[in-house]
Structure 1
């Protein structure tokens, strides 16, 4: 039985990553996709060590200095490490099962075995002409203060014996940021794929010609990824963050991951040289950074998911103004099932429409080659007043966002940076149009980033609306953000939008309390919520209260979930499902039964401390009855998923569902549902 009211955030994250690993182990998943899930698991684990492990290590120190604290952070750290060890064992078993299956398709991944003689001439040519120029070998004994293993980069430590000298070690970088991680060579109809580090190891005797090579092992160091910023506006924000990004790769080590077999004296020397005393010293597999498996050069014969072509919007090919279409009625887009073209058209038309005078946008994660940003720059050059709030603190996307911010500024776009301690995570845009009859708004409100790249595999919902009352509130929010005033001091009354720092948490409390009141009257009461992450304890506690009052609560939570479901007398009316499939579940949906007068909200806000207390988030109502029904139908399909869904139980386990109904895979069913609507097929 669960002994606390809340699951550990970190163990919950690891539980989700285990669910990803489960997908890699499924024989029913196409082979190419199983390899991608292995890649995703590895990438997620790296992020855990960069972001969460530093927090656990810091909390452990606090716990040691303050004995008797209720939460034992030392235990949490130990449990996390133990869980990771078990998962890595399963990862090894899974990869040893999956990779040999490639041979049925004419592919041989040379994995922890000698390189075949038949391809050595090709690899030697490749080594001397492409690889050698990127290598910087250095003897461990000669390392000075200028050498520092970069964060999550791959290295080789080689054991060398020079004549008449004591044995020594040398460090060699693996330049996978400059060259492909894998090299493919085809001989006699078989394609051999070789790791870059194995090519380097094969040719180490050519680098150290005066020494005898007695061994070589891979290692990497993972470092703290957090940026330390102060709320100081005197220095250019972009410059401050750029400086912090440069420091990020030199943050304190959280994990030292090494290939088995490294001699103990070598391990001790590396530990001392690179200051690893406080890091997790982890024996890994032969290869690290297996997130690179996503770039494995597979041929067309390796099974992949059958493509689901994006459903084209009704506006496709029509010369009607998108703003006329939005004025006529609200439009909803469900990516990636439906094409992102409508969003691109919204910005492209705004850039040239003579009636458009102002454009406001928030950008959190910008695509590398963003057509949206190109349209915004064109709009500014065309004389529009364009204001863009760029969030420079979007983790791991800071540098890309800075690059785009500077380009936009050079094009005449007014760039606003958020308060240092307050991220702007809202996904909103506003187009203001004027003609002789008055002022008109066309707004865009989304659950996901304005990013064409992620829109291809993140499931999100995007509303285009001309609702004047709602968009007037959005304009007030943009004006407030552009003035960089503290949010708590703003005198804005939101009656339609739910905005974190203003009314979002209180509004959700009120809506849950209303369901509690219905239940206490003996009337049907229910709450259905879909989130990426559920952590904030006050809102969780309110859901517990609702459960105890008899409110039926159905949750779809993809990743972190701190709510403990199904505990008799406590949370027995709460069920939680988790869906992992070909697309990343990303939308946030809130449905309150409200005595038969349902309220439906979409938005950017997860229920986490950071979203509620340290970000500007926007959730927005769905007023159009047809769109309301569409959202409810989509959520209903997800709640009925019997193929890709698991149920999170009171012990944080991903429990298979007891299948009592025909098999239903929700993402496939949603695609067919939306496709049928376009074709006019009755449901």
Structure 2
């Protein structure tokens, strides 16, 4: 076989463009008539939120690279300016499509269901009277309009805040010609206002946008002057926190200091109303030192994510996904988690199974007189967390509680600082991970005295200890008292607290030390099996496949006949289906009701099958710049369960987008007579039957 250089740029998809392509797939869910209407609105909102983060992190990073004269953006060999140019083209198309979906699809369908967004021109007398009173009582007192002149320079605008540029005529209070003003809407104000039906002759679900109310009554804010035009705008800023690892001596104080400046990072995007005059658009561009390509003129609210409020305000179960109650594993029905785990391991599959056993595990540990110590990692857990409540209770009960909190969890830094303070007040030992290496592993260790021995009880997960996301993210959690695994978890915790070297682990793979090489070795082993006539089979389910070395290893495996299926929700840089390179690789992205978040690795291993679950994606950051763990599913019954789940995802022909070699995704074409099949629905059906 001819030698092929698997590092060639044409074998890689650009990371940023792959992420935009994922967001397009999310937006497609908003168009899918099989999805309940209010859930389609949520998908539109998710698409908007994802795009915000894309600009705050990815585009901001590209702009920094371009400013520094960076030549390459990874193995695809595109320069940062080249990527930025393509990102701008695709992002503008995506935003145009978002607002087309809003105006041409969502609004008409919602109105048909009695959910209306009433324009100013259509307000009846009662609605206008009520809204004027609402403006005077609830808006006017908290608004601070700022006229612009040499003594009142253009104000600093908060990241992603709602603002209005106002064109004025007439003389101000000091006899000068007025011109422009800016109004910032405090984040405490609702962006969508529900009209009270009994006071306004409205339907039960009639809404008005805050921007419409501002348009209608802004004259009140500029007494003696006339508002000629008022146009909403929003800016997006670089939101990455910068902590100089070589200079800091206190990570907590450094993060707290950076949080104060996050809202005023470098500007990367301007969104402005579609009807804003071009001279005002240009004025805003100049104020923010942005280029034309950084400006997005939109026909609707500048923050689509605010529409998610409506989904919660509208009580129409027929327009939402059917509710369900997560299953509680039969093994844990006795409520004594420790006794249950001594008998056999438990594998939780969220959200189809309940997160409650994890909380019960911690609560029992807090109350159990035989429990000596509890150790846990926290990456994201939410502000009001039953998990943290249990840890606080354990500390108050005199247990040795150690919590490794990752302060640099993006967009959760402030919440994690507050959690750290609460745990410290309770008497827990709190450490902040390792500077330069985010602690992304999901681990709980409970040390319990049983007779003359100490037993280790462990929970290892693929997702965060977050009760809310446990209802909407798919994740696995292994609960076990396996001695070898318990010892491994103890060693990893000791490293995180002492910073000492870890002795060889028995069962776990561990980033940034052994996991990357172990994955390469396991791929190589499948190559050997294939060469010996033993076939070779790999299935990987993750959120992203980015790492070039792992991609090259998969290419090599494909070339010798190893059958490879990748289930990659988000970014994937690998190109499947390239003749002679990736003929035997298939890539699918499942987008459905739940956010696919499990990380699972299956290796056939010549009949000695191995199944691993992990907190890590196949990205360079997970392999080299984070603390991660990868754990085996050794119980045969549980392993077969995971294999069945993977088989269902590979069978999915309704929500699985197939990746082509050119980087585009498409839903599969079903054969004649083929029945539609959804993996997530199959798992829900299994839940209903249990």
In the alignment, structure 1 residue 448 sits paired with structure 2 residue 463: yes
1:134 to 123, 127, 142: 142
Please give the root-mean-square deviation of Cα atoms over the aligned residues, in Å: 2.1
Q: How does 1:491-502 map to 2 (within 5 A)?
A: 491-502=502-513
2:572 to 561, 584, 607: 561
Q: Is the 8 A contact 1:529 1:554 kept in 2?
A: yes
In the alignment, structure 1 residue 242 sits paired with structure 2 residue 249: no
**Equivalents in 2 of 1:108, 1:204: separation in Å?**
23
Q: How far is the alpha carbon of 1:500 from its aligned partner?
A: 0.6
Q: Is the 8 A contact 2:654 2:667 kept in 1?
A: no
Q: How far is the alpha carbon of 1:127 from its aligned partner?
A: 1.0
Instruction: Name the SS of the counterpart of 1:617 in structure 2.
Output: strand
**Equivalents in 2 of 1:355, 1:64: separation in Å?**
58
Instruction: Name the SS of the counterpart of 1:256 in structure 2.
Output: strand
Q: How far is the alpha carbon of 1:331 from its aligned partner?
A: 0.3
Cα deviation code 1:36-95 (max 9, x no counterpart): 01100000001011000011212323447899x943322211111111111122212211
Q: How far is the alpha carbon of 1:188 from its aligned partner?
A: 4.0
Instruction: Name the SS of the counterpart of 1:358 in structure 2.
Output: strand
Q: Which residue of 2 aligns with 1:84?
A: 91
Q: Is the 8 A contact 2:72 2:80 kept in 1?
A: no
1:461 to 476, 485, 494: 476
1:104 to 84, 102, 112: 112
**Equivalents in 1 of 2:49, 2:598: separation in Å?**
21
Instruction: Name the SS of the counterpart of 1:369 in structure 2.
Output: coil
**Equivalents in 1 of 2:254, 2:146: separation in Å?**
33
Q: Which residue of 2 aligns with 1:607?
A: 618
In the alignment, structure 1 residue 668 sits paired with structure 2 residue 674: no
Q: How does 1:390-539 map to 2 (within 5 A)?
A: 390-485=405-500, 490-539=501-550
**Equivalents in 2 of 1:287, 1:605: separation in Å?**
36
Q: Which residue of 2 aligns with 1:273?
A: 287
Q: Is the 8 A contact 1:431 1:443 kept in 2?
A: yes
Q: Is the 8 A contact 1:229 1:420 kept in 2?
A: no
**Equivalents in 1 of 2:276, 2:202: separation in Å?**
37
In the alignment, structure 1 residue 377 sits paired with structure 2 residue 392: yes
**Equivalents in 1 of 2:471, 2:349: separation in Å?**
11
Change (3 A) 1:668 1:51: same
Q: Which residue of 2 aligns with 1:73?
A: 80
1:309 to 325, 329, 345: 325
Q: Which residue of 1 aligns with 2:239?
A: 225
Q: How far is the alpha carbon of 1:464 from its aligned partner?
A: 0.2
Q: Is the 8 A contact 2:18 2:571 kept in 1?
A: yes
Cα deviation code 1:326-384 (max 9, x no counterpart): 11100011111111111111000000111110111000002221111111111111111
Instruction: Name the SS of the counterpart of 1:367 in structure 2.
Output: coil
Change (3 A) 1:316 1:507: closer
Q: How does 1:133-212 map to 2 (within 5 A)?
A: 133-141=141-149, 144=152, 147-163=155-171, 166=177, 168-186=179-197, 187-188=200-201, 190=203, 191-212=205-226
Q: Where do 5+ consecutive residues of structure 1 fail to align?
A: none
Q: Which residue of 1 aligns with 2:597?
A: 586
1:48 to 49, 54, 58: 54
Change (3 A) 1:591 1:166: same
Q: Is the 8 A contact 1:647 1:656 kept in 2?
A: yes
- Range that drifts further, 396-405 or 121-130: 121-130
**Equivalents in 2 of 1:199, 1:276: separation in Å?**
29
- Range that drifts further, 239-248 or 275-284: 275-284
Aligned length: 670
**Equivalents in 1 of 2:85, 2:66: separation in Å?**
10
Change (3 A) 1:116 1:46: farther
Q: How far is the alpha carbon of 1:437 from its aligned partner?
A: 2.7
Change (3 A) 1:143 1:48: farther
Instruction: Name the SS of the counterpart of 1:136 in structure 2.
Output: coil
Q: How does 1:324-343 map to 2 (within 5 A)?
A: 324-343=339-358
**Equivalents in 1 of 2:646, 2:404: separation in Å?**
32
Q: Where do 5+ consecutive residues of structure 2 fail to align?
A: 1-7
Q: How far is the alpha carbon of 1:436 from its aligned partner?
A: 2.6
Q: How far is the alpha carbon of 1:113 from its aligned partner?
A: 5.9
Q: Is the 8 A contact 1:169 1:266 kept in 2?
A: no
**Equivalents in 1 of 2:463, 2:654: separation in Å?**
25
Q: Which residue of 2 aligns with 1:300?
A: 316
Q: Is the 8 A contact 1:102 1:302 kept in 2?
A: no
Q: Is the 8 A contact 2:546 2:571 kept in 1?
A: yes
**Equivalents in 2 of 1:65, 1:438: separation in Å?**
59
Return the TM-score normalized by structure 2.
0.93
Instruction: Name the SS of the counterpart of 1:495 in structure 2.
Output: coil
Change (3 A) 1:117 1:12: farther
Q: Is the 8 A contact 2:613 2:633 kept in 1?
A: yes
Change (3 A) 1:64 1:522: closer
Q: Is the 8 A contact 1:218 1:286 kept in 2?
A: no
**Equivalents in 2 of 1:467, 1:251: separation in Å?**
47
Q: How far is the alpha carbon of 1:179 from its aligned partner?
A: 3.3
**Equivalents in 2 of 1:188, 1:427: separation in Å?**
53
Cα deviation code 1:370-400 (max 9, x no counterpart): 1111111111111110100000000000000
Q: Is the 8 A contact 1:315 1:342 kept in 2?
A: no
In the alignment, structure 1 residue 23 sits paired with structure 2 residue 29: yes
Instruction: Name the SS of the counterpart of 2:159 in structure 1.
Output: coil
**Equivalents in 1 of 2:619, 2:72: separation in Å?**
26
Cα deviation code 1:289-342 (max 9, x no counterpart): 1111111132326611111221123256534x2111111100011111111111
**Equivalents in 2 of 1:4, 1:616: separation in Å?**
32
In the alignment, structure 1 residue 546 sits paired with structure 2 residue 561: no
Return the TM-score normalized by structure 1.
0.94
Q: Which residue of 2 aligns with 1:11?
A: 17
Change (3 A) 1:562 1:70: closer
Change (3 A) 1:579 1:520: same
Q: Is the 8 A contact 2:66 2:81 kept in 1?
A: yes
**Equivalents in 1 of 2:546, 2:128: separation in Å?**
53
